[in-house]
Amino acid sequence: METLTLIPTPDSIPAPAWFFQVLNILTFLIHILFVNIILGGSILILMSRLTRTDPPLDQSLHGVIAPKIPTTFALAINFGVAPLLFIQVIYGQFIYTSSVLMAVYWILVIPLLIIAYYGAYIHIKNYSKARTLSVVSLMVTTLILLYIAFVYVNNMTLMMQPDKWASYFQDRGGTLLNAADPSFLPRYLHFIVASVAISGLFIALVWYLRSRNTAAEAGEKINSGLKIYAIGTSVQVVVGFWYLLSLPRDLMLSFMGGNMVYTIILAAGIVLAMGSIITGFLKNLKATLIQLGILITIMVITRANLRTLYLADYFKLNQLTLKPQTDVMILFLLVFIIGLVAVGYMIKIANSAPERRKA
């Protein structure tokens, strides 16, 4: 069957495609940071609680992140809506199709996400008074998050490979997955390892912020968080090269000199990753944070570049029909900016709450 006949006709868009591409990158960048903290934090906390006797929460390394998981969960869910909507605007004919092809797994994300959210609350509310319930709840939350990551990686890779959609005619039950693709496993592991590394750095940051007032042991915990980041990122570099080599040859070569813009962007990311590993081991928190901020931005852009390469034979953004709706877009931007400010203000209030209660 001709693959092109399986691709639906794209809808028109109310603003230039680059505008939605930029918004997609921006909102996904925020979303993925929250997701990394949730998943990586849950893994680190669970490993700690399963392998050693629990110290009091305020004395443990993960004591500064465990109470923040439920709130971060809510932020991740809300910020996840925006990039999903933006990718549907510009790649709707691909993402809708791949979602239908794996509909059973895709629709399960919603009820399981609710269970995981409750699990995060049950974990922290029962941290000291019901250890078994607390640990089991966290284990359920972590497993569900790993499942959701598995489903999302499947969907995001399947949408980029319309040549595999014809498999639907051998399996019409909405259970088509793309896990057999050579790039699937390294991409999945790339995300999981990154989550652990970023959570380690987040732990170091929160202990640093806390140490400005109290917590005499913060120095040791900051260094432990940085060590987790450095080791995790070292593994991440290895997995990243595996991921690159697992791509189809023409796509891989595009990042190795075939497309100089894409190559330079990726090379900059590799340099920053190595630099952040060094500063992490050297216990330089600020330098590591700065490099990570730029590194994540570069990786999100590279992700978008890879999607462009995968779909090059089927679709280009300039093929979208533009039907400007200036007034609607202005209103959208105003609401979007106000929403960002409101969320930032709420986060500020939430973080300052303990200090205000002590006062």
pLDDT in tens, the chain (359 residues): 566 677 888 888 888 899 999 999 999 999 999 999 999 999 999 998 888 777 777 778 788 888 889 988 988 998 898 899 999 999 989 999 999 999 999 999 999 999 999 999 999 999 888 889 999 999 999 999 999 999 999 999 999 999 899 888 888 888 999 999 999 999 999 999 999 999 999 999 988 887 766 555 678 888 999 999 999 999 999 999 999 999 999 999 999 999 999 999 999 999 999 999 999 999 999 999 999 999 999 999 999 999 999 999 898 888 888 888 888 888 988 988 898 888 788 777 766 655 444 43
The Cα 46–Cα 172 span in angstroms is 38
The Cα 65–Cα 44 span in angstroms is 10
User: What is the value of pTM for the model shown?
Assistant: 0.89
Closest by CA to 5, choosing from 161, 154, 166, is 166
Give the DSSP per-residue string, 259-272: SHHHHHHHHHHHHH
The Cα 105–Cα 112 span in angstroms is 10
Closest by CA to 302, choosing from 255, 258, 257, is 255
Helix 285-310 × helix 184-211 angle, to 10°: 150
Those residues whose C-beta lies under 8 Å from the C-beta of residue 73, and which sit 6 or more positions away, are 38, 116, 117, 120
The Cα 196–Cα 200 span in angstroms is 6
Over residues 205-234, the pLDDT tens digits come to 988 887 766 555 678 888 999 999 999 999
Contact predicate 252/244, CB 8 Å: yes
